[in-house]
Amino acid sequence: MSYLILCDSCTDFTREMEQDAHFIRIPLTLHVGEDDIIDDETFDQKSFLKKVAEYPECPKSSCPGPENFMEYFEQADDIYIVTLSSNLSGSYNSAELAKNMYLDEHAPKNIHVFNSKSASAGQSLIALETAKRAENGMPFEQIVKEVTSFIDSMGTKFVLETLDMLRKNGRLSNITALLVNALNIKLVMTSDGNGQIDKCSQARGMKKAIAHMADAIKEDAVDSANRTLFISHCNNAERAEFVKKVILEKLPFKDVIIAETGGVSSLYAADGGIVVCY
């Protein structure tokens, strides 16, 4: 059976994923002031990060419309869709609407939308887990069941270089953000398992924060020796390699994949940010 995996553009593609016709990126649009930036192959990360740093308010994003998903539904027998957490974006609801609209007017077809309950590297892992099973010829319903179970056991952590985005979107007061930045405090964040963001810990300095993140991963990782560690970095490949080293000193993983953040992930992680899923 032929298959496609449609991923909203918060999914961080590796070079191999970009070259694999089974993976399709559905772009969100980023809004920085009056500038509308399509998160596709034309995205320029350095230019975007400069715009965000200079813009005093919180940039926004808008999700793809149902038609952006539907245009691919005829191109394969099995359609899998991976979206940002439904608690962070309307992308999941848009994809579900696309599925329901299509099935209302066409014969039954295998279409499933995965709510990643995560973002960035988490979506990438889900897409890769789906593709692995599809390549092995696993039936559609079994893939949906196993990948859904994988999502429920997946962990997400990220560490932020800057708190500007949290300040701009109102999650931190200006005074708190200034104080934390002055003290060089770095936040380690986590997903609560339902796609909401919580603070995991904090530390003075990035190296200590990464060590705290590695400790937290060691505490909650499920069967790490048989799973993949996916690290996304925003404009800091050297830091991503350091994160890999620190985590592997704490516990083993079967594979480690490192990718650069796309547009939406760069907006969330901010310059220097690291997102880890496992």
pLDDT category of residue 268 using cuts at 50, 70 and 90? confident
> What's the CA dihedral at 47, 19, 86, 214 to 10 degrees?
-80
Please tell me the predicted confidence (pLDDT) of residue 212.
Answer: 96
The pLDDT value recorded for residue 173 is 57
- pLDDT class for 18, splitting at 50, 70, 90? very high
Contact 76/116 with Cβ under 8 angstroms? Answer: no
Average pLDDT of the chain, as a whole number: 93
What is the sign, positive or negative, of the torsion defined by CA atoms of 39, 28, 151, 132?
negative
Burial classification of residue 1, based on how many CB atoms lie within 10 Å of its CB (0-12 exposed, 13-18 middle, 19 or more buried): exposed
pLDDT of amino acid 162: 78
Q: Assess whether pLDDT exceeds 90 at residue 39.
A: yes
In tens, the pLDDT along 73-128 reads: 999 999 999 999 998 899 999 999 999 999 999 999 999 999 999 999 999 999 99
Q: What pLDDT, on the 0 to 100 scale, is given for residue 167? A: 66
Query: What is the predicted pLDDT for the residue at 148?
Result: 98
Name the residue with higher pLDDT: 162 or 15.
15
Q: Give residue 223's pLDDT.
A: 95
Structure tokens at 47: 């230019």
For 64, which DSSP code? P
Q: What is the pLDDT of residue 201?
A: 87
Predicted pLDDT of residue 183: 67
pLDDT of residue 174: 55
Expressed in angstroms, the distance from the first to the final Cα of the chain is 28
The residue among 161 and 19 whose pLDDT is bigger is 19
Q: Which tokens in the block code for residue 249?
A: 């000193």
- φ/ψ (deg, to 5) at 232: -110, 140
More confident call, 211 vs 174: 211
131-185: per-residue pLDDT in tens? 999 999 999 999 999 999 999 999 999 998 877 776 676 655 555 555 566 668 8
Give the pLDDT of residue 134: 98
pLDDT at 172: 56
What's the predicted TM-score (pTM) here? 0.93
The percentage of residues in the chain with a pLDDT greater than 70, rounded to a whole number, is 94
Task: Match 């609560």 to its residue by tokens.
Answer: 192
pLDDT at 182 (0 to 100): 62
Interatomic CA distance for residues 182 and 179, integer angstroms:
5
Mean pLDDT of all residues in 14-33: 97
Q: Is residue 270 over pLDDT 80?
A: yes
Average pLDDT over residues 13-27: 97
pLDDT confidence of residue 271: 92
